[in-house]
Every structure is written in structure tokens, then in C-alpha cells.
Amino acid sequence: MEETTNIRQQINDKQAFIKSIIKLSNGIKYNKSYEIVEVDDYIDGHVAYKYHKIVREPIINSSIEYIAIRVRSIKEVYARYAYTLHLSKLNEYKSLYEETKLTEVVHSSLMEIGQAYDVYEFDKVEMDMFPHFDGELAYCLDEIKKVLPNIKAERTRLFAEADNAITRVLNDILPLVDLTKSDKEIVKFINEALLKRTPRELNRENGTRFINRKGKSYYISKGKMKLRPKQFIAQKVLEIDFLNLNKHQKEFAEKLLLEVQVDFNNGLTDNFIFDEDGFISGINKRHYSERMELKESNFKNTLARIQAKYQDYRN
């Protein structure tokens, strides 16, 4: 009951409450570990790639910190562009290590010794932490540390942008909080509003797009979306090959490829999905199902069957 009163008092002093939440979000402490995420791009169950996901268990001492954790989570997702910006050139040379990104080499080695660090903390990782010297690990860690100051600076800038957006959202939603509710209900209301409204605020103010796909959430600025003809082949992105397609599937594929190409030529970025490097990796299926006057479920099922034949043929 005492803690509920504390939440009520802080919300009544709106500006102090917002400053407190922002400050708490920057100081959240976590117990960290890794889990391996397998991403399946193929209908036949084949694993396309794996990556290490940091599992963070926040150390919580009050109900208000649940709001700070949500704020921190939003900020971390928004700041992922800092890593894309400064690590993408390094990862152009990832074939040196069997198509493994440099960061993944470090994460894998850390998991083996029961340690877990975010990339921005890699300056704390030293080779003497590992039982055996590994030349590949040493190289990857050294290359990442060279750009780490730039990553941290960009991350700080993006955190500040997110803080501004979150402050505006909190200013709007705090007057709507029903203070007769329990701590849990108050926290839930604020967190749901933050999750729903902050991406829209950041998209509008900073010209970014929020993308949640294949287990990853990230923002990408419209200026980084690559719409260059030589970097886009609709048939390859959509995994369409006309071999072994029946008449209906061929007609569907031809119409879809035409619609996609027209949108690409006209620079309609909202109709495409982009990866973290800014390259087109998919399409807005709901949009194209409407354009082709099909039910979304029928559209997805037809495309999936076509893509299954493409994979069978390619493999």
C-alpha cells in the first residue's frame, strides 16, 4: 500500500516522475545469459541461420522500475542502429570466418565460459578471460573494439532521441492514469501505452520505420533504405522460380512480381520490409493481398507453396 501511494505521489508531480523514470532506465542492472535462436526461413524446416540472443533478467526493487525497464527496452531497440552503422562494414568481411559475424564469434566464446556481455560492453572483455588463446576471437574482438567508441557515441545520441520521444509520450498518457487502480494495473497501463505510442512518435519525428520480423525488432531510418536497381531482384527476394509452378501459381507470381516492381520503381518504401542493413528482405503481405484482391490467408498460402518449390529446386 505504501508503494502505491509513492507511485500516486510521483505521477501527480508529472515532470519529476518522468525524470525519475528516465534516470532509472539508464541505471537498470541485469543478470545476463545467452540463448541460441534458430531462424527458419524455409518451409521444410531447414535452419537458415542462428544467432546469440542476450537474455536479461532485471534486478527489480520497486514497481516503478517495471516502467523503467520498459523504457530501457524501447531505448535499446531504437539504439540498435548504432551497431548496424559501425559494424556493417566489418561484417562485409565475415566470409573470412565461414559467414559468421564478428560479434557472433565473441558471443559464442563468451557463452562457452558462462559470461554474457552486450556489444557496447565488449571493452570489458579481455583475452585473459578465456582458458585458451584463440586467434580468431582475438582478431574479431580487436576489430570491434576499434569502432566501439563510435558505437557508444551513436548509442548515446539515439538514447537521447528516444528519451525525448518517451518524455512526450509520458506527458500525454500520465493524465489518463486512473490512480484508484492497483500498482500492477497502473504499471500495465503505462507500459502498454509506451509500447504502442513510442514507436509511432519516433517514426514521425525522426523519419524511421519500426520493424519486428523473424524474432528481431529494430528501427531503420528512411535515408538508409536502399532502393537501388542493382541491389533488388524481386524474384530472388520473394524466392519465386517458375519451374514446376502450375497455371494458377504462375499467374499469381507474375502479377505479384509486377506489383512489387512497380512499387519499387516508384520508391514506395512502406510496402517493403528492410533488414538492419537497409536492404529489402520482404514485402508487406497484407498490402499486396489487398492490391491483388485476395484474402490475406489465401495470399500467404499461395506464396508459401510457390516458395516451397523454389527452395526444393534451389537445394
What pLDDT score does 46 carry? 64
Cα 146–75–62 angle (5° rounding)? Answer: 120
What pLDDT score does 97 carry? 44
| Three cell numbers, residue 49 | 541461420
**For the residues 59-64, what does the mean pLDDT come to?**
90
Q: Cα–Cα distance between 202 and 78 in angstroms, integer?
A: 9
Q: Is the pLDDT of residue 93 over 70?
A: no
Q: Is 210 helix (H, G, I), strand (E, B) or coil?
A: strand
Q: Cα–Cα distance between 227 and 159 in angstroms, integer?
A: 28
| Three cell numbers, residue 36 | 541460441
Q: Cα–Cα distance between 113 and 173 in angstroms, integer?
A: 44
Half-sphere exposure of 169 (CA within 13 A, CB side): 27
Alpha helices in the chain (DSSP H): 2-12, 14-27, 64-78, 81-91, 102-112, 135-173, 183-206, 234-237, 247-265, 285-291, 296-314
Secondary structure letter of residue 147 according to DSSP: H
What pLDDT score does 277 carry? 75
Residue 75 contacts residue 24 (beta carbons within 8 Å): no
**Residue 142 — pLDDT band, cuts 50, 70, 90?**
very high
pLDDT, mean over the chain: 84
Q: Quote the percentage of the chain above a pLDDT of 90.
A: 46
What pLDDT score does 91 carry? 64
Q: Is the pLDDT of residue 74 over 70?
A: yes
**Residue 43 — pLDDT band, cuts 50, 70, 90?**
very low
Q: Is the pLDDT of residue 208 over 90?
A: no
Q: Which residues, in sequence order, are CB contacts of 225 under 8 Å at separation 6+?
A: 209, 269, 272, 274, 278
What pLDDT score does 314 carry? 53
What pLDDT score does 42 carry? 46
